[in-house]
Chains A and B, each alone.
Chain A
Amino acid sequence: MSTGAGPDIDRAVKVQFPLLERSVHGRPIVYLDSAASSQKPTAVLDAMDDYYRTVNANVHRGAYEIAAAATEQMEQARADVARFISAPSADEIVFTKNATEAMNLVARSWGGSNLGSADAIVLTEMEHHANIVPWHILAAERGFEIRWIPITHDGCLDLTDLDRLLDGAKLLSVTAMSNVLGTLNPIPRLAAAAHDAGALLSVDASQYVPHLPTDVGELGADFMVFTGHKMCGPTGVGVLWARMELLDAMPPFLGGGEMILDVTKEGFRPNTVPHKFEAGTPPIAEIVGLGAAVRYLEGLGMDAVRAHEVSLTGYALRTLTDRHGDDITVHGPSEPAQRGGVLSFVYRDVHPHDISQVLDQSGVCVRAGHHCAKPLMRCLGVTATTRASLYVYNDTSDIDSLAEALDEVGALFGH
Chain B
Amino acid sequence: MAGLEDLYREIILDHYRNPRHRGELECPPAHRSEGFNPLCGDEVVLTFEMDGDVVTDLRVGGYGCSISQASASMMSAAVIGKTIDEIRDLTRAFKAMMSIHEESIGGDGSEALDGAADAAGANDGALRLGDLEALRGVVKFPVRIKCATLGWNALATGLDETAAGE
Contacts and interface: CB of A to CB of B under 8 A. Distances in A.
Given A354-B65, A368-B40, A374-B41, A25 B17 contact: no
B66 A351 contact: yes
A339 interface: no
B27 interface: no
A412 B4 contact: yes
Contacts of A374: 41
B90 interface: no
Given A357-B141, A361-B3, A412-B8, A351 B41 contact: no
B126 interface: no
A349 to B, nearest CB: 10
B61 interface: no
A128 to B, nearest CB: 15
A377 interface: yes
A357 B41 contact: no
Contacts of B1: 25-26
Contact of A415 (B17, B42, B64): B17
A413 interface: yes
B4 A358 contact: yes
A377 B38 CA distance: 13
Interface string A362-387: 00000011100010010000011000
A361 B4 CA distance: 7
A353 interface: yes
Contacts of A383: 40-43, 63
B68 to A, nearest CB: 8
Contacts of A182: none
Contacts of B42: 353, 383-384
A413 B65 CA distance: 11
Contacts of B13: 412-413
Interface residues of B, number: 20
Contacts of A369: 39-41
Contacts of B8: 412
A352 interface: yes
Contacts of A413: 13, 66
Nearest to B17: A415
B144 to A, nearest CB: 7
Determine which residue in A25, A357, A374 has the highest number of CB atoms from chain B within 10 A of its CB, and name it. Answer: A357
B87 interface: no
Interface in B112-166: 141, 144, 147
Given A368-B40, A383-B41, A384-B41, A353 B144 contact: yes
B7 interface: yes
A351 B70 CA distance: 13
Contacts of B65: 351-354
B71 to A, nearest CB: 13
15 contacts: A351-B65, A353-B42, A353-B67, A354-B66, A354-B67, A357-B141, A357-B144, A369-B39, A370-B40, A370-B41, A374-B41, A377-B41, A412-B13, A413-B13, A415-B17
